[in-house]
Structure 1
Amino acid sequence: MSRPPTLTPPPAARAYPLRTARGDFAVVDHPVAPGVEPRGAALLLPGFTGSKEDFRLLHEPLAARGYRTVAVDGRGQYESDGPQDDESAYAQPELAKDVLAQAAALGTPLHLFGHSLGGQIARAAVLLDADTTPVSPTEVPFRSLTLLSSGPAQISQPQQERVKLLRDALAVMSMAEVWDAIESMGAPEDVGGPAVGTGGQEHLRHRWLRNKPAQLIATGRQLCTEPDRVGELAAVALPVHVLSGASDDTWPLPLLDEMAVRLHARRTVVADSDHSPNVDRPLPTAEAIADFWDTIQAPPARRKQPAP
């Protein structure tokens, strides 16, 4: 869980419900900085127990590089509504369809960016799109894919055990009671996370209580059972960036290094950061993101590469 210092959007950003064919999703939409030539737009997907606010410190430096950024709460996350108890609504294919609907509503080819669980949902959306017949050969929703601290398959065994504890607790405890337990042991995926901001824990508790339990249970199960789909992603003609902190107990760095090789992807490690470099060290993280996006001149044609 990323721990943003505040849930308040940056001054230039606009928070609103993005209306899509699959319902409304809460977003924070930050425009390109005044006087800067626009270079593209991006859709940012948060991780497990996170929210769109996890990217709060990335918006302004990316705007200064010419990028509009739209961070979204997924179905059942924080300010996006979803069923309280129906876990089927949060199956990964459903969440992938949500991402494609969000991209369609924004109406421009996007750089897709996913943190942790959000990276695996982003991957599923790319693969779902690749299996869909396009209206025209060049009509594509995504210009690139960046996976931030998001690995090839299921999370590490110690993290699986922590997520299972959370899922078991959600089955018998209220969200408030579970929050108290999280505070006593540290949240799943909170790998040596950043210090809490001056606002203390209350804003994080407020965010937690807005999550839907079924969403947490279903996506927690996904993290513990996700298959390796790197080969499928490697067959899609889309530029990929594998980005992470310098240490990570959720997906150890050797796994991320190997995944980048298998994907022929750009690989960046942000020094002095852990599972959430977007919060730990936002400026070098934003610089690495924009440096990658700057290399992409035009949306790729939507197609799968021929098998070797």
Structure 2
Amino acid sequence: MSTPRFLTLPPGVRSRRIETAVGAFAALEAIPVSGVPERRPALLVPGLTGSKEDFIAVLQTLAQSGRQVVAIDMRGQFETGGPDDRSAYTCAALGNDVDVLAQVIGHGAPVHLVGHSFGGLVTREAVIDGRTRFASYTLMSSGPAAIVGPRARAGRFMISELPEQGLEHMWHTRMEPEAMAAGVSDEIVAFLRKRLFANSVTGMFAMTEEVLSAADRCDELTQVEVPTLVLYGEHDDGWPPHMQAEMAHRLDADCVVVPGAAHSPAVEAPETTAAALIRFWNAAENPLRN
């Protein structure tokens, strides 16, 4: 579970809804405080139990590099509605949403794409399907296949308790105690509860099944010509760091390890994470990049 450190929107960041042919998506949009966006825009996609708010700490810095930056709630997440239909929450279906959103945000031109955790499994569908050309692609704290370790165990526990116990039980027995033990402020705890209960239960169940069963698609991803970055915290408790490093090697991708961060570098080390993304994006836009 990603835990935003604060919820106040910084200058240049606003809430909006993005209308597309496949529905409306809740988003946070950042633009430079002064001047106009002169570089390629970026689309940020959160993880399974996350939302657009997980990127608040990096949005202003990213936008100040001269670009529009948009973080979204995926279908069925927090403030984006979703149907009571499990097939709407497969990686392929959610990846189609990313395709459509990227085309709307970029007005047909390539955008930089970032997928965090489960969002990495979703966004790679959009990269692999070839219907949209991206300026670059970043896998943030994501992996080559199904999640492993403690977060996999948490996912299996979620699947076992959701049908019978529901969100209330999951909140009181796991999520709230974890937040309190981590010293999260009352304001953020209230937000986490609001976010959890706004999610589609069907969507959470289906997406959890997806993250626990995802196939390795690295070989397919290597066939796509797009500058790629693998970025993760040195203490990641999702996909182990060594697994993400191996994935970066297989993809012939740039690799950045964020010191001191765990599974949510944009929350835990926002300035380091934003600086790494800006360097990578600027290099990807350089026509002389090798």
Equivalent of 2:168 in 171, 176, 179: 176
Q: Is the 8 A contact 1:144 1:240 kept in 2?
A: yes
SS in structure 2 at match of 1:100: helix
Which of 191, 209, 218 aligns to 1:203? It is 191
**Counterpart for residue 278 of structure 1:** 266
Shift of 1:141: 3.7
Give the residue type in structure 1 aligned to 2:57.
Answer: L
- Root-mean-square deviation (CA), in Å? 1.9
Per the alignment, in what secondary structure is the counterpart of residue 114 of structure 1?
Answer: strand
For 2:56 and 2:182, locate their aligned partners in 1 and report how far apart those are by CA, in whole Å.
Answer: 14
Deviation at 1:64, TM superposition (A): 1.8
2:215 aligns with 227
1:76 counterpart SS class: coil
Do residues 28 (structure 1) and 20 (structure 2) align?
no
Aligned to 2:100: 101
Contact 1:4 1:196 in 2 (8 A): no
Point out which structure has higher relative CO (alpha carbons under 8 A, 6+ apart): 1
- Identify the residue that residue 127 of structure 2 maps to in structure 1: 126
Q: Which residue of 1 aligns with 2:5?
A: 5
Q: Secondary structure at the match of 1:56?
A: helix
Deviations 1:129-151 (A, max 9, x none): x2x4xxxxxxx541110010001
- Alignment map for 1:112-191 (pairs within 5 Å): 112-128=113-129, 130=130, 132=131, 140-183=132-175, 186=178
Which SS does the other structure have where 1:296 is aligned? helix
- 1:110 matches 2:111: yes
Q: Displacement of 1:162 after TM fit?
A: 1.4
What is the deviation of 1:33? Answer: 3.2
Change (3 A) 1:56 1:184: closer
Give, in angstroms, the shift of residue 15 of structure 1: 1.1
1:76 positional shift:
0.2
Q: Deviations over 1:224-246 (max 9, x none)?
A: 11111011001100000000001
Residue of structure 2 equivalent to 1:136? none
Three-state SS of the structure 2 residue aligned to 1:295 is: helix
Q: For the Cα contact (< 8 Å) 2:11–2:33, is it kept in 1?
A: no
Query: Which secondary structure does the structure 2 equivalent of 1:201 belong to?
Result: helix
Which whole-Å CA distance do the structure 1 matches of 2:150 and 2:59 have between them?
32
Between the aligned partners of 2:34 and 2:182, the Cα distance in structure 1 is 31
Normalising by structure 2, what TM-score?
0.92
Conserved? CA contact 1:36–1:65, under 8 Å: no
- 2:62 matched residue in structure 1: 62
Asked if 1 retains the 8 angstrom alpha-carbon contact of 2:30 and 2:59, the reply is: yes
How many angstroms apart in 2 are the aligned matches of 1:293 and 1:73? 22
Shift of 1:72: 0.4
If each structure's helix is expressed as a fraction of its own residues, which one has the higher value? 2
**C-alpha distance after superposition, 1:172-214 (max 9, x if no partner):** 1232222112236648xxxxx9752462411111111100011
Task: Indicate the residue corresponding to 1:305 in structure 2.
Answer: none
Residue 47 of structure 2: aligned partner: 47
1:32-66 superposed Cα distances (whole Å, 9 cap, x missing partner):
23147622210000001000000000111112222
Q: Check 1:265–1:166 CA distance in 2 against 1; reply closer, same or farther (3 A cut).
A: same
The structure-2 alpha-carbon separation of the partners of 1:30 and 1:195, relative to structure 1 and needing over 3 Å to count, comes to farther
